[in-house]
Structure 1
């Protein structure tokens, strides 16, 4: 660790966070938090208006930013070089392949120098583009701007579009006349970001965020009426559940999806009577998940009911979709995880994962015959885009690997012909043959084999001297794809091995892989990541004093945990919007995500056992006098998912407990939320900043 710390010399004195002890007691256990004052009492209001932030807190964040800039000031030229490289690999005037829907085909494009997407349509079989929404024009003059897209009505006359200009994920919806480009007077505030049209194009449904940033109500808005007149369609009163609203390809139903991380419930509203009460499909049962897609006279339902841990597909009559009428169609197969499904007039399609690799399966609805779409590389990513129309034999999917740029295909499910529509352009040039992608298996503490995806140049010496950026996430069942990223080439071209540890907590190896990395078994996630580092060192891909670990959000919790458990095995750590104050957050049921997160981490308010689970690994609670490597923490002031005060408190405590280690650097985006800056090039600047830190720590500036 001495070598990595040596690159940070003559740093100014870091900000000194005053200690203002606050104690809490749960289950007879008392904790004292010296930095609880960093949590703004008016956080709900501040997320909507950042100017309301307490001046003392703002001054501390600005001091931390100044300290970070001083520590990384010598990387400014490197950041510019990295940014130029990354930008040079992006086709600036890029355009999507439009998706056909009725008389039109809809797509997105970017213009040279533009940050935001532009939405357009063309006649179905080709012709001049008609610009529907210019994201750059809408974002003009705003420090932060994020579009939620535009959704056209079934008659193609109007479009709902949404934006967030604070980073707080409270979206405003507007309605645009697609023929004139003018917005109607309708303005819907504090939504979750999108709407679903009724078939007649005269009204739409949306989800409202409450004062604690939870999507708890579905409303029906009639064009021309004020938001105050909107009809409440359904309200979810349990704060532990998220809610969303969606539509079907046939426009027959509106779906209301209610779920937490392990339980789901659907209510459906027939579009034949928009004033009716939504019909409950199947009551929520703890641990049972299901989702629907419409197939004309039937629903196809993806579920883990009846012990189908890796999910199965059942069908039910359209008029009576209750659980008592579910009939197995695609049987459960242990180890074959079905991820999503779609139904079309003649085919049923689903995306599944076997042995850690994805494939698309197509089933003929008449004959029951099945065939699959798969690829031969050791590690790759496959995405199912589906289609915008029901009566079609053509679906769209994307493919890439860590060396192969993204390819977009149309696939005829009847003839089994695939048509390559587009290959991702890399304007500055890219030769896949110059790189290697591999998948290796690391043995964890309990014998579990952890997949690790690798990217490196063919000429990289594998003698233990190469630096390595090791990325991990490991939560919510999210699997990290081994997909192509032009940004990672900047590291590979500088001799790095880029690695993804597919640790437990994701679903990379099936649903059990997820279950074995949550609740009481959460520490498996951290031990798997450390095992991945050990394996890469043992196989001489890198060395401990060359590994920079990176993770964000729940992956940032992973970073905090491995920093406490094995600081000597990492040369540096990048923790983006890191969920590091786990126990405090899970004890605060006023925060936006706390009740819905209890099935993932445990409920320490109700259970002493679950309190003790979390307390045992919560990064903030386990900071000690240890040989921490340099740590870069990144947060967003208006982030409703991982609040800014978590990394701020963590950095303060690291400095207090281990002042001779580190250094510990904190960057707070004062005009952004969970996803960082919103523009496509602004995001590249942030990645260049993170990679410059990694290169500095590795001594590769």
Structure 2
């Protein structure tokens, strides 16, 4: 193996060589040796709360990797500044959202010029002076990392629950703010999931507590003015394989306890007429059956895949007896029509659905049953349903954008069908949609399935195979990657790149079956689909193999590790952000935050030998070979509870050991951040500029890019 002549990473210093400390593990009669298991900090739970506790040997290795990365990327410093300035120039710095009406007020967020954090405000309902309730920039002063989870006002609008994470570990602290005075009460609730749900009287709220393994396993009831230690335990989920959340209805009649993994769900309800009552079970969890609820006065509307409704249907049940035996179908299942979410209002039922990969909003008159849809005509676009903060309304809010069209926010009257444009995303440095093309093409997979690929490029980009391409993919958990407007991507398109999103199996772009056929024993389809997208773009001369830089993060980072092992010759470079690459070891470690809840997605290799083999067949760390890997950039966060820092660290060390003549391989560890990277809006742009500078450098476009 040798470096490609196009590879610009020449004259690098010697890369870090990680110490090898073999650890063996035997499962199902199979023994594996992991030379880099020592990189997993034994005290990771404590370290997430206090990063100074990290083993000095591990810290030294991460710092050495960061230094090597700086050496390899040092010549992009000026380009990063240029990219950052461009991206920042496309953001309206003193931007403000359109406030959402709620009782006597309307609530929104704003940013100030130069500010990193959001400010939360309210105005009188029909307009007037903004009153800032929470100044994120002020709260973040003096902190390396700071992330707000938002602020939720009580029903009487007297108080607000607000939460923050000041480490990146996603343990949120809750405070209570007097919205009239701006002062916080003495109440401090630590180690939460990030929010709370008010009781209607505004004197207490419900929240989830994260346990020592970073799982939301308990719901507590907190009364204002008391200590967290005295909070009443409302419900405890004993199964570590389930996540848990707490929410409330628009009518303030119920507190919802939502218990779920990636394929099974269960709801328990607390009537706000009796906050001390035991939560009432709606329908007992059944493996593979999902349901979610919204209240419609005297009935609940239940979105579920029960029976053979893979693409979901909507049921109705009386509020007084919402058990499954009383569910009545009102919106039937239609194969290929995936119902994503639903909301109920006094006179209307609303849902967001997707057909043939494109979203639309459907409105039904509850009295007459008449339906109509809200849709758009572009080849590829994104549609988001914001709903409303009030139940007794005819007006809902939604957003629309495409890869060339800036985001537009609308209020929509469900009776008159009048659509009012409230706001169009402003691009201060200028943007002409006519200069760009957005398309959706279909790439044939090896088994005959057609994989949607969304494209963005300038009209003057030559489609002769010479254009560089950033090909993005995710493909897990049923998450659909929208073909939405992103000003950052224009920095690539303006430099001659084709920006592409491969809507691969593992998401729900083409219905629930698209998800099912990209998980568990079918996981290889995700990788084959992504490679098929690269093949199609190469064949149709949108780009060529020597010009494709692949990018993915988290589970999409696992995708990057897999396609690097399967078809390294088809990619000029790979960007893997917080990559889930040590899949087998992680799924064998049931103490890690996400492992038990993730078994329905990947398989349980502890209990099942068959599922062990599924994962072992593609786990990137376990399938590294002496192959012609392209340059790889891995990015991680030291206190990331979702994809722990040691996964990419081990991956890079092993790549360097097994395929030393390929690459090169770079690891950038954010020493004061977690899964989402840096927390400020401009700090995040610095990270994107860094990633894009890697892509531009790999593409050999450095000279023309600055």
Per-residue CA shift, 1:379-415, capped at 9, x if unaligned?
0000000000000000000000000000000000000
Give the TM-score of the pair, scaled to structure 2. Answer: 0.99
Kept in 2, the 8 Å contact 1:407–1:423? The answer is yes
The reply to whether residue 382 of structure 1 matches residue 383 of structure 2 is yes
Q: Residues 591-637 of structure 1, C-alpha deviation per residue, up to 9 Å, x if partnerless?
A: 00000000000000000000000000000000010000000000000
The reply to whether residue 354 of structure 1 matches residue 355 of structure 2 is yes
Q: How does 1:185-584 map to 2 (within 5 A)?
A: 185-584=186-585
Partners of 1:2 and 1:638 lie apart in 2 by 34
Total equivalences in the alignment: 701
Judge conservation of contact 2:342–2:351 (CA < 8 Å) in 1: yes
In the aligned structure 2, how far is the partner of 1:469 from the partner of 1:236? 42
Q: Check if 1:124 corresponds to 2:125.
A: yes
2:592 equivalent to 1:599: no
| CA deviation after TM superposition for structure 1 residue 2, in Å | 4.7
Q: 2:634 corresponds to which residue?
A: 633
Q: CA RMSD in A?
A: 0.6
Please tell me whether the aligned partners of residues 83 and 685 of structure 1 are also in contact (alpha carbons under 8 angstroms).
yes
Q: Is the 8 A contact 2:3 2:662 kept in 1?
A: no
Deviation at 1:306, TM superposition (A): 1.3
1:689 match:
690
Pairs within 5 Å for 1:654-673: 654-673=655-674
- Structure 1: runs of 5+ lacking an equivalent: none
CA distance in 1, matches of 2:484, 2:128: 33
Structure 1 contact 160–195 (Cα < 8 Å) conserved? yes
1:10 corresponding residue in structure 2: 11
Q: Distance in 1 between matches of 2:80 and 2:437?
A: 26
Give distance in 1, aligned partners of 2:514 and 2:677: 29
Map Cα deviations across residues 557-610 of structure 1 (whole Å, 9 max, x no partner).
000000000000000000000000000000000000000000000000000000
Q: Distance in 1 between matches of 2:306 and 2:694?
A: 47
User: 1:170: which partner in 2?
Assistant: 171
User: Residue by residue, what CA displacement relative to the aligned partner does 1:518-545 show, whole Å, maximum 9, x if unpaired?
Assistant: 0000000000000000000000000100
Q: Distance in 2 between matches of 1:130 and 1:247?
A: 25
Q: Tell me the secondary structure at the aligned position of residue 639 of structure 1.
A: coil
Question: What is the rounded CA distance, in whole Å, between the counterparts of 2:265 and 2:673 in structure 1?
Answer: 31
- CA positional deviation for 1:3: 4.2
- Which residue number corresponds to residue 38 of structure 1? 39
- Counterpart secondary structure, 1:286: coil
Shift of the 400–510 alpha-carbon distance from structure 1 to 2, 3 Å rule, reads same
2: CA distance between counterparts of 1:128 and 1:430? Answer: 31
Task: Answer yes or no: is the 8 Å Cα contact 2:282–2:323 preserved in 1.
Answer: yes
- 8 Å CA contact 2:3–2:663 kept in 1: the answer is no
Tell whether the 8 Å contact from 2:401 to 2:407 is kept in structure 1 after alignment: yes
The answer to whether the Cα contact below 8 Å between 2:640 and 2:675 also exists between their aligned partners in 1 is yes
- SS state at 1:72 partner: helix
Deviation at residue 6 of structure 1 after TM alignment: 2.9
SS at match of 1:590: coil
List 4+ stretches of structure 1 deviating above 4 A.
1-5
CA distance in 1, matches of 2:108, 2:188: 24
Conserved? CA contact 2:265–2:291, under 8 Å: yes
TM-score of the aligned structures, taking structure 1 as reference length:
1.00
Is the 1:4–1:545 contact (alpha carbons within 8 Å) kept by the matching residues of 2? no
Could you say what secondary structure the match of 1:6 adopts?
coil
Cα-to-partner distance string for 1:490-539 (whole Å, 9 max, x where unaligned): 00000000000000000000000000000000000000000000000000
Give the aligned partner of residue 71 of structure 2.
70
Q: Secondary structure at the match of 2:48?
A: helix
What SS does structure 1 have at the residue aligned with 2:591? coil
Counterpart of 1:152? 153
How many angstroms does 1:213 deviate by? Answer: 0.1
C-alpha deviations, 1:334-370, integer Å up to 9, x for none? Answer: 0000000000000000000000000000000000000
What is the rounded CA distance, in whole Å, between the counterparts of 2:308 and 2:448 in structure 1?
25
Instruction: Say which SS state the counterpart of residue 488 (structure 2) adopts.
Output: coil
Counterparts in 2 of 1:4 and 1:62: CA distance versus 1, 3 Å? farther
Partner of 2:134: 133
Instruction: Give the distance between the partners of 1:523 and 1:556, measured in 2 at CA.
Output: 15
